[in-house]
Amino acid sequence: MGDALQSWVFWALLSAGFAALTAILAKVGIAGVPSDVATFVRTLVILALTGAILVASGQAAGLADLPGRSTVFLILSGLATGASWLCYFRALGLGDAARVAPLDKLSVVLVAVFGVVFLGERLSGPNWVGVGLIAAGAVLVAYRG
């Protein structure tokens, strides 16, 4: 199990599992609640949880040592996350979780494209086929036929 805790694959799969739970739990929780209110409550929970983790692990002091460039990009990332959550909860309030979540996961396709364009990352031919399949799969799952 020690090796698994150091594996990005382990953590990515765990993230996917929690993301799936997020969609289902949020869809139930948003019933009769304005989407922005639901997003705010979710954000408060995340803030409290991560704050507690920082304090418990002794990492809170590291906040003062963040480099300026990192701070700027983390703030921008936070703004993008907030915008994503607001849009996601609005979509969940209007549509089926089984259709909203796959379209939201088109972010995987965009990350691949942005990683290549902005970060200079490289993807092989089979990687691009996978990206295309993810895009096609998301659209097909979201399609109401």
Cα–Cα distance measured from residue 4 to residue 24, given in angstroms and rounded to the nearest whole number: 27
- pLDDT of 27-81, one tens digit each? 999 999 999 999 999 999 999 999 999 999 999 999 999 999 999 999 999 999 9
- DSSP state at residue 95: S
pLDDT in tens, 59-72: 999 999 999 999 99
Q: Where are the domains of the chain?
A: 2-95, 105-145
Nearest to 106 by CA among 80, 145, 142, 144: 142
pTM given for the model: 0.83
Nearest to 138 by CA among 109, 116, 112: 109
In whole numbers, what is the pLDDT of the chain averaged over residues?
Answer: 94
